[in-house]
Amino acid sequence: MKTLSKTNADILGEIVDLLIPAKENLPSPTKINVVEHIDDALSNTPAARRIFVESLGDINNKQFLSLSKMEQIDLLEKYELSNGTFFSQLLRHTYNAYYTNPIVVAGIGMTGKPPQPMGYTLEKGNLTLLDKVIKKGQIWRNP
């Protein structure tokens, strides 16, 4: 870890797996190194790093790792309301890491690859739906 202590990384791992639970072919965030990704992102953004370290420290003071899953979710819901800045950044960094992972992108039905260089095949579409528009005629206003 570049930024987070072991304790903070453990807490963050527990949190991100609650934010996005594993389901069928979609892995849990910790399985695809989301915590490491967030740690790396925080190492480049001092302001966000400070917010994360402070907030994770506060969560640790509430014995987060010793709580039951329901108690952890309850605590996070309270945090979402009381510490919006941290929580919105937490969600953004978690989603950033999760939804750019090839396993996840493949798991939601895409190829798992970035848009280039392959691109996609796109149908021309049904241009006969323009018939009514053409029949209606000129709508531009001639000054």
> What is the binding site for another protein (CB under 8 A)?
18-21, 23-24, 26, 73, 91-92, 95-96, 98-102, 104-105, 108-110, 114-127, 129-130, 132-134, 136-143
Report in angstroms the alpha-carbon separations of 92 from 99, 100, 105. 10, 12, 17
Nearer to another protein, 51 or 91 (CB): 91
> Least distance in Å: CB of 138 to another protein?
5
Whether the CB-CB separation of 69 and 18 falls below 8 Å is answered with yes
| Gap between the Cα atoms of 68 and 18, Å rounded | 12
> Least distance in Å: CB of 66 to another protein?
20
> Phi, psi at residue 26, to the nearest 5°?
-105, 115
DSSP code at position 64: G
Nearer to another protein, 4 or 90 (CB): 90
Nearer to another protein, 5 or 92 (CB): 92
